[in-house]
Structure 1
Amino acid sequence: MPETAGPGAPLVVVLHGCTQNAAGYDESSGWSRLADQHGFLLLYPEQQRINNPNLCFNWFSPDDAARGKGEALSIRQMVESAKVRHVSNRRRVFITGLSAGGAMAAAMLATYPEVFAGGAVIAGLPFGVASSVPEAFDRMRGHGGPRPEALAELVSAASPHDGKWPTLSVWHGTADQTVDQSNASAIIEQWRSLHGAPKNPARSDLVHGHAHRVWVDSSGREVIEEYSIAGLGHGTPLDTHSTRHGEQAAPFMLEAGISSTRLICRFWGIVTDEAVESDSITRLVHDGHAELRAQPDTHTSASQPAIQTVIEDALRRAGLMK
């Protein structure tokens, strides 16, 4: 718990990706440094090999990604314990994750929307689009899945929620060869109609040279944003060149010249605009109506699909995939 986090502090839940662990993800992403600087709490659920040999959260499993079941219930219980223990602000609980962790973050937002004020999905997938390992790999490749108009119904049916929905920040690399970028569009479509936001974004920018779009609800509140990171492979976008961020490149933790950690916090309102380093932002359109360690990855490389190969090989050996 950061010394700067007093009673009523926000709580951020962070879910690592496959082959990662909590400590490694935290060391690279800069979340702890940001929490120390701005006085909020962090919770790092960590997958165990007994549950998944590749340390992936089981976002595709009906027994783990449903309200009151498995991993989703376990994460929910961890959140409640952290809120009680540290007297955190119950209206300012957020969740984020990378890849399988991002897909699990989407599942938590869908199954326990009353718990979270906002979320962020990095290189992840929509909720409820797969219920088996083969389906999960098909969706990762961008194949199959529910009709666009049915995506929101999956979230609506996941809980008895009848209040405001959590806001959402969506991040994806244009060169991701592990989780197809079409999943980012599907996530936006899944949540856009729940928020009653129009099909067209209210604003489109370039932020640190990358495409950024924002959707608003009928009250003008920003409810969904998307960052499309040009040339980035599969991983969390980082700004490792800024000494004040404390972010470090590692497998699937990628230098991109933009800090997803800090900009996600800005979208949630935990960090102010003034606290985020301001590079030039070019407004293009404004229409209010309308723990592994290896050599650091670059934006794209031949090693990007490696994580999928590792997972598929392990599943074949276990007899779970042909």
Structure 2
Amino acid sequence: MNASNAQVMAEATRLTRAGRLEEATALLLRAQGRPHPGNEDRMAERPRHFDRGYPGSSPLPEALRGFLEREAPGTGGLDGLVARAKVVVPNGARFESHHFADTAGSRTYKLYIPAGYQGEPLPLVVMLHGCTQSADDFAAGTRMNELAEASRFLVAYPEQPASANPSRCWNWFNADDQQRDRGEPSLIAGITRQIVRDFGILPGCVYVAGLSAGGAAAAVMGATYPELYAAIGVHSGLAYGAAQDMPSAFAAMRGGAPTATRGGATAPALPTIVFHGDRDTTVSPVNGEQIIAQAMAAARLTTRTEQGHGPDGMGYTRTTYSDTGTHTVLEHWVLHGAGHAWSGGSTEGSYADPRGPDASREMLRFFLQHRVIEG
């Protein structure tokens, strides 16, 4: 590998991990002597990714994978970069591997336990990674473990294997993976319940969040197990029922769903916080709006909108929705200039943009305002 190729590879990797997918795509195609296709050409190419996993996969992961495998075969390609994500575990803390199985199948998951934990009841946040990601990669990119250490809660990272989806995406668009006690919802709920039982989680303080396909899966979990989770967080994802198969998933990612249902559910939707970049070309920002609209249903809520900037200057619009008791039940963060990446994340993981407001910290703040009260 010559110096020029090494520089291109390093820059493409940096752009990818910052969520700047379009720029990385253009760089890689230029390096290969190919023109950067327009939007129409990219859309025409996307159906070829159906047999690779996530129906809306950007061309970038495939381009980067091929480039790395050709120019630096020892790295293991994009998968190798993800696998080498570094998760720093402080003295006394644990980041353990666990396993769960039920009639729907089995999954492994990582569990972060903060230092000094002595079995006392703590909250639990379940984090669902995006396509091509692993538990370690998602933990590194979101820095949720650091918050868990500082604020004392447990974090679980279920992992989707390539055997379930070639790109390790959660199959949010499959009919069997949108139903209670079936498919992936059964497995994720089973992991959650196993941790609640084994670690004596603080009653009513269980939350679920995710990025992209993981964000769509978090919406599925909120709709199918509303008694299990007190609130949900969706970053760059889609509403529950936005798709029923691969073609409709592709259409929803590109331009939103014609209708997004809750599967006949009549109970109010769970408290929900949404983050979405307004320059996201992988999952259209309209999907963030549809998540909020679905969560509102027929509720009469008071809205309040404010403008702000992240620590590195990224602008955002934050809209809160409150009930008659002035209790905030929904939040919608539109990130101006952001692509398909976790806002305020670390480039130690993939699909993270450090320029934006800290989505992990804001989600935790929102979560801890909500608790399921048994009655």
Cα distance change of structure 1 residues 126 and 28 upon mapping to structure 2, 3 Å threshold: same
Q: Residues 203 and 215 of structure 1 are in contact (CA less than 8 Å); yes or no, is this contact kept in structure 2?
A: no
Kindly indicate whether the alpha-carbon contact (under 8 Å) linking 1:4 and 1:40 is maintained by their aligned counterparts in 2. Answer: no
Is this contact kept in 1: 2:343–2:359, CA < 8 A? yes
The answer to whether residue 3 in structure 2 is matched with residue 3 in structure 1 is no
Residues 217-241 of structure 1 deviation map (CA, whole Å, 9 limit, x = unaligned): 22221000011111111111115xx
- 1:87 pairs, out of 184, 200, 205, with 200
Confirm or deny that 1:259 pairs with 2:358.
yes
- 2:281 alignment partner in structure 1: 177
Q: Given the alignment of the two structures, is residue 269 of structure 1 paired with residue 368 of structure 2, yes or no?
A: yes
Unmatched segments (≥5 aa) in structure 2: 1-112, 371-375
The residue type equivalent to 1:43 in the other structure is: A
Which residue in the other structure is 2:152 paired with?
39
Corresponding position: 1:202 with 2:304: yes
Q: Pick from 85, 98, 103: which aligns with 2:211?
A: 98
Partner residue in 1 for 2:248: 135
**Distance in 1 (alpha carbons) for counterparts of 2:277 and 2:210:** 15
Indicate the percent of aligned positions where both proteins have the same amino acid: 33
1:193 and 2:297 are equivalent in the alignment: yes
Alpha carbons of structure 1 residues 80 and 182: separation in structure 2 relative to 1, 3 Å: same
CA separation of 1:130 and 1:35: change in aligned 2, threshold 3 A: same
Deviation for aligned residue 1:165? 4.0
CA distance in 2, matches of 1:135, 1:69: 21
Task: Give the number of the structure whose alpha-carbon radius of gyration is greater.
Answer: 2
Cα distance in 1 for residues equivalent to 2:338 and 2:182: 34
Structure 2 counterpart of 1:313: none
| Mapped partners of 2:142, 2:257: distance in 1 | 32
| Greater per-residue helix proportion | 2
List alignment gaps of at least 5 residues for structure 1.
240-246, 272-322
Q: In 2 relative to 1, CA 155–219 (structure 1 residues): closer, same or farther, beyond 3 Å? A: farther
Q: Distance in 2 between matches of 1:32 and 1:251?
A: 16
One-letter code aligned to 2:138: Y
The residue number in structure 1 matching 2:130 is: 17
Q: Which amino acid aligns with 2:115?
A: E
Q: Distance in 2 between matches of 1:36 and 1:270?
A: 19
Residue number among 58, 63, 70 corresponding to 2:183 in the alignment: 70
Tell me how far 1:33 sits from its aligned partner. Answer: 1.1
> Separation in 2 of the partners of 1:226 and 1:83?
29
In the alignment, the residues of structure 1 paired with residue 327 and residue 177 of structure 2 have an alpha-carbon distance, to the nearest angstrom, of 32
| CA deviation after TM superposition for structure 1 residue 144, in Å | 4.5
Q: Following the alignment from structure 1 to structure 2, what is the Cα–Cα distance between the partners of residues 86 and 97?
A: 22
RMSD over aligned Cα, in angstroms? Answer: 1.9
Write out per-residue CA displacement over residues 112-143 of structure 1, whole angstroms, 9 at most, x where no aligned residue: 01111111000000001211111101000015
3-state DSSP of counterpart to 1:115: coil
What's the CA shift string for 1:9-67, capped at 9, x where partnerless? 00000000001111111012111111011110111110011110000000011111211
The aligned residue for residue 225 of structure 1 is 331
Residue 8 of structure 1, CA deviation: 1.7
Is the CA contact 2:134–2:159 (under 8 Å) kept in the aligned structure 1?
A: yes
**Residue correspondences, number:** 253
Residue in structure 1 matched with residue 16 of structure 2 by the alignment: none
Match of 2:340 in 1: 234
Indicate which of 305, 319, 328 corresponds to 1:213. Answer: 319
Please point out which of 250, 264, 283 is paired with 1:157. Answer: 264
